[in-house]
Chains A and B, each alone.
Chain A
């Protein structure tokens, strides 16, 4: 391995390695410093742990959530709602974008509606969904859909319309039908757009789920946060926010893995 490598190259690689290690070190150090500082400030009574909580109390809260099994109930509920939301949002958004790509007329008719719906703050629709669908997961998933659907439609449609004109010309001379152009050119060439929509929708779905759970719910991380703040259990609120951050980051990671796997499966190199 190290044969064939010039001294300069070896030095460069060593430099890179050192640099990477320093970055990793400081990332963890910063985290540790933050929590230690927080704990110390609470112990020294610089901040009131009743209001600001502190890591040791959060750890205790986490342990009790874990042992009572509540942790899995709440994390599971929110995660399932989010997954349902972003899969539905991405699929429905893509399907509607396909329909609009297919028919120029429909897309012209839909345009002003998309513009208005896109600029509407979707959270305003929350109470309506609750009335329509009852206080439960249905309303929460509807909330996530409302947030992610329009953006998905617009992004996907844009991608579809930017499909290389020369490639479409080529497909047509090879006798392709519109359906074949869709499945063999437009969709595969927009693979990256779709993955991107998926990534954006994970984030948006979390917003929708937490918003929804704030409004109505008997379980979920959003519920815990609202409940905790109402009974003034700040330890519970802070712990939940931390769990939420970890869950959301982990889910995003999963999407990155999925992207990698799909790319490998499809042999995509772009």
Chain B
């Protein structure tokens, strides 16, 4: 087990009162797994990622990464935020080497080889605005991979893309993550995205977020995201999770 959350609870304190965001959340992630986290809006998904990333301390409970309790940001964890968040005042090269630069590492050969491997070498000197949405997303992933983390946390990284682009970009990013043999935890609002990409899906209840169910998609293992979408079992999983989320319109 590379990540292990044990009874993680977090209550936000503010002037207006308390907000119980997470309650007794426990789950494990095995090395190399691709896990999705779904749940109603405001149920504490981003909060959970912040705790695993070491940006937020839980009120009680502990998260272990590689057997060690998380106390602060660590090199083992890479984070991919909402939208690509590339810095427009930096070139592509300046963006993907941000991590090594902040950690004062001189060696940027990993960033170099990742750009090479994923066909972005020619764009090094370009600015983010000169790239398409899909390529920007690739750059954002390479920026995260450039510090060689073991675990990737993705917080709705595709939410700003339109539907068509989203289908291909999510498959693309999924492919790169598998290719690099990273463990991933993806937060998404999109159930079909979760079913098409994941090995397992963790469903959180509405606030305070608790683990409601964990779906095992081993049945679909080996199929590409596109193949999964046209598989008969896709709809079953979709419907079950949909019911579980209990979204009242």
Of the candidates A164, A169, A175, the one whose C-beta lies within 8 Å of that of B103 is A175
Query: Please, how many angstroms separate the alpha-carbon atoms of A72 and B221 in the complex?
Result: 81
Q: Mark B65-100, 1 if CB is under 8 A from A, else 0.
A: 000000001010111011101011111000000110
A185, B87: Cβ atoms closer than 8 Å: yes
Interface SS of chain A:
helix
Q: Nearest Cβ distance between residue A84 and chain B, in whole angstroms?
A: 29
**B161 lies within 8 A of chain A by Cβ:** no
Q: Nearest Cβ distance between residue B158 and chain A, in whole angstroms?
A: 14
Q: Mark A35-66, 1 if CB is under 8 A from B, else 0.
A: 00000000000000000000000000000000
Query: Please, how many angstroms separate the alpha-carbon atoms of A269 and B147 in the complex?
Result: 27
A188, B53: Cβ atoms closer than 8 Å: no
Query: Please, how many angstroms separate the alpha-carbon atoms of A149 and B70 in the complex?
Result: 44
In the bound complex, residues from chain B placing their C-beta under 8 Å from that of A174 are 73, 79, 98-99, 102-103, 147
Query: Please, how many angstroms separate the alpha-carbon atoms of A256 and B75 in the complex?
Result: 43
A189, B81: Cβ atoms closer than 8 Å: no
**B55 lies within 8 A of chain A by Cβ:** yes
A166, B83: Cβ atoms closer than 8 Å: yes
Q: Mark A250-270, 1 if CB is under 8 A from B, else 0.
A: 000000000000000011111
In the bound complex, residues from chain A placing their C-beta under 8 Å from that of B85 are 164, 166-167, 170
B55, A267: Cβ atoms closer than 8 Å: no
Given contacts A175-B102, A269-B127, contact A169 B79 (CB under 8 A): yes
**B129 lies within 8 A of chain A by Cβ:** yes
Query: Please, how many angstroms separate the alpha-carbon atoms of A180 and B99 in the complex?
Result: 11
**B50 lies within 8 A of chain A by Cβ:** yes
Which A residues from 168 to 192 make CB contacts under 8 A with B? 169-176, 180, 184-185, 188-189, 191
A166, B88: Cβ atoms closer than 8 Å: no
A172, B103: Cβ atoms closer than 8 Å: no
Given contacts A166-B83, A266-B89, A269-B88, contact A173 B127 (CB under 8 A): no
Q: Nearest Cβ distance between residue B51 and chain A, in whole angstroms?
A: 12
Query: Please, how many angstroms separate the alpha-carbon atoms of A189 and B129 in the complex?
Result: 15
In the bound complex, residues from chain A placing their C-beta under 8 Å from that of B82 are 166
B103, A189: Cβ atoms closer than 8 Å: no
In the bound complex, residues from chain A placing their C-beta under 8 Å from that of B50 are 169
B83, A188: Cβ atoms closer than 8 Å: no
Given contacts A164-B85, A269-B127, contact A175 B73 (CB under 8 A): yes
In the bound complex, residues from chain A placing their C-beta under 8 Å from that of B77 are 173
Query: Please, how many angstroms separate the alpha-carbon atoms of A146 and B103 in the complex?
Result: 41
Of the candidates B81, B87, B102, the one whose C-beta lies within 8 Å of that of A180 is B102
A176's nearest neighbour on chain B, judged by CB, is B102
B79, A170: Cβ atoms closer than 8 Å: yes
Q: Nearest Cβ distance between residue B21 and chain A, in whole angstroms?
A: 16
Q: Nearest Cβ distance between residue A256 and chain B, in whole angstroms?
A: 19
**A-B complex: 9 closest residue pairs judged by Cβ atoms:** A173-B79, A166-B81, A174-B99, A176-B102, A188-B89, A270-B88, A170-B81, A174-B102, A173-B53
10 extra A-B contacts, CB within 8 A, seeds A166-B82, A172-B53, A174-B79? A166-B85, A169-B55, A173-B54, A174-B99, A175-B75, A184-B101, A185-B87, A191-B89, A267-B90, A268-B88
